[in-house]
Structure 1
């Protein structure tokens, strides 16, 4: 699911976790929360597919979990605060997990963040309503 028809749908590279995404990712996020218990982490590590099959997640969500594709998991309704449970169960720091969503190593990602993060150039919200107003006036 995407947020194409929402006023915030045109934020480059961003999936907004809104009410629709809560519903889409509910079972995925509940699975992640289950990993807070050591016995569930053990069961998941023993047979990831069998553990995932206990959850009514989509096949795409399950595949993304197995691939540890955090970018895809977010697109499929995963919330980073829940997904961190999955990365932690693999022994990854938050920075290491988040770096997988970039083209940077964990070390380079941390250095980038220490230096102020990514440049906002090209990653700003574009208010199409302003360009729509201009087009409307030009047509009159």
Structure 2
């Protein structure tokens, strides 16, 4: 068993809580995503995304996650789902597209939508990271 971290929610598989630590870690990433609210910024990002990203003090991993549209990596690296979703909207994606892309099962959008309509993922095996480590 892992030593307690003082944050019980860190034991929930696939959960990236936007707490103070994540806020500090993801500040530049979230400010980039927030910048996409402006049409002129969207145009600049569309024209040359790598040059546009130079305006933000992103870590190498954050930059790669943005360019690869690695949604889970963005959350792990301090991204707030509400800000990172601005990038998904920029790409013309829905929340179902992002949810399917973040699925470890490699679900299609239709499969993800059907799973959510039928009640979501089962709780068994998804309550604590220890359940994942024991098969």
Equivalent residue for 2:92? 91
CA positional deviation for 1:122 = 1.2
Residue deviations 1:93-121, cap 9 Å, x none? Answer: 11112210012111110111111111111
Moved over 2 A (4+): 4-7
Contact map agreement 1:41 1:89 (CA 8 A) in 2: yes
| Number of aligned residue pairs | 124
Q: Secondary structure at the match of 1:100?
A: helix
Q: Given the two structures, how large is their TM-score scaled by the length of structure 1?
A: 0.83
Residue deviations 1:37-76, cap 9 Å, x none? Answer: 1111111011111111110111110000000000000000
Give distance in 2, aligned partners of 1:20 and 1:71.
17
CA positional deviation for 1:15 = 1.8
Give distance in 2, aligned partners of 1:71 and 1:6.
23
Gaps of 5+ in 2: 131-135
1:59-98 mapped onto 2 (5 Å cutoff): 59-98=60-99
Provide the alpha-carbon RMSD of the alignment.
Answer: 1.6
Pairing 1:111–2:130 present? no
Give distance in 1, aligned partners of 2:63 and 2:6.
27
